[in-house]
Amino acid sequence: MGGVTDELGRVLVVTSGKGGVGKTTSTAALGAALAHDGQKVVVVDFDVGLRNLDLVMGAERRVVFDLINIINGVAKLSQALIRDKRLENLYLLPASQTRDKDALTENGVAKVIEELRTKFDWVICDSPAGIERGATLAMRYADAAVIVTNPEVSSVRDADRIIGLLDSKTVKAERGEHIDKHLLITRYDSSRAARGGMLSIDDVLEILSCPLLGIIPESKEVLLASNVGSPVTLNNAMSAPARAYFDAAHRLKGKDIPIVVPTGSRGFLKTLFGRKAA
C-alpha cells in the first residue's frame, strides 16, 4: 500500500441520526476531495445490512470481503480494502450486506480502526442512521465528527441528539477529551430560505451551537453523481455542491476558508424584479 506515515491518521465519523440527509453522499464526496488533495483516505461503511457506500463510490461489483469478515478473522484488511479506480489514494472498506449489525463488536471495530489509523491519513466512517449499535460503534473511536443535517425540523432535532451522544458515548468523551464537531448543512435551497420557507443557516447554527463546516446547496448534480457511481467531487468538480465539498475538505485540514451562504439560482420573482438574492 505504501505511503505509510509515522503519524497516526485522523478518524472522522460522518453521522446524522436521521436517514436520507446525505451521510453517504458526504462521506464519498469528502473522502474523494481529501484524496484528490493528496491525502491517503479510506472510507468505511458501517451500515451493516444496508450498505450503500460501495454503490455511491461505483465499486459495488468489486466487493469481495467486508468489515465483518475482518472482525471475524475471515479476511485480512488488505484483502477487503478496495482501491478507487480514479484516485490511487482513495480506498473503500465495505460493510456486510448479509449480516446484521450485531456482528459488529466493540473490540473488533477498535482493532480495525487502529490498523487503519496506521495506514491512512484519514479514516472516514460512514455511520448508519439511528442511534443503535452501528451508529454508536461508527462514532466510538472518532477524533472528529461531521454532523450532516438538512435545514428541516426533524433532521435538526436528530442532529442535536447525535451531538449529545458524541459528547458522552465516544472514547474521547469518556476520557474527558474534546471531540471536534463540524456541522455540514446539506440540501440547502437558498431561494426557499430567502422566502422564509426553510430554516436559515443562522437558525440552524443558533439551535445546534456547533461550528459550521460547510453548506452544500441543493443540486441535481448530487443525484446525477450517485446514478453513475461517482463521488460528486469527482464527477463534476466545478459544480456548486462539489466546490462546497472541496471547501469543507480544506476546512477539515485546518484551512481557514470563509463560508459563503449559497445564493443559488434566481427564482422567478427575483428574475422578474432583477434583484439579487439576499
Binding region for another protein (CB under 8 A): 152-153, 156-157, 160-161, 164, 193-200, 203, 206-207, 269-270, 273, 275
**Residue 77: which of 108, 122, 36, 33 has the closest Cα?**
108
Which residue's CB is nearer to another protein, number 137 or number 193? Answer: 193
Q: Are 255 and 213 in contact (CB under 8 A)?
A: no
Phi then psi for residue 213, to 5 deg, are -90, -35
What CA–CA distance (Å, rounded) separates 33 from 177?
28
CB of 278 to another protein, least distance (A): 9
Least CB distance to another protein at residue 43 (A): 30
Which residue's CB is nearer to another protein, number 160 or number 221?
160
Cα(20)–Cα(221) distance, integer angstroms:
16
Of the pair 17, 217, the CB lying nearest another protein is at 17
Angle among Cα 227, 230, 235 to the nearest 5 degrees reads: 100
Q: Please identify, using beta-carbon distances, which residue of 176 and 196 lies nearer to another protein.
A: 196
Q: Compute the least distance from the CB of residue 195 to another protein, in Å.
A: 5
Least distance from another protein to the Cβ atom of residue 199, Å: 5
Report the C-alpha gap between 116 and 108 in whole angstroms: 13
Question: Least Å distance between CB 264 and another protein?
Answer: 15
Helix H or strand E segment including 90: strand 90-93
Degrees (nearest 5) of the Cα angle 69, 148, 198?
A: 150
Q: Are 126 and 50 in contact (CB under 8 A)?
A: no
- Pairing label, strands 90-93, 41-45: parallel
CA distance 31 to 16: 17
In the complex with another protein, which residue's Cβ is closer, 85 or 195?
A: 195
Task: Please state the closest distance from residue 172 (CB atom) to another protein, in A.
Answer: 18
For the CB of residue 153, give the shortest distance to another protein in the complex, in Å: 5
Q: Which is nearer to another protein, 83 or 266 (CB)?
A: 266
d(CA 159, CA 135): 13
Nearer residue to another protein within complex by CB, 102 or 206: 206
Between 33 and 131, name the residue whose CB sits nearer to another protein. 131
To another protein, the closest distance from the beta carbon of 136 in angstroms equals 14
Cell numbers standing for residue 23: 451521510
Number of H helices and number of E strands within the chain? 14, 8
Q: Which three cell numbers stand for residue 134?
A: 452501528
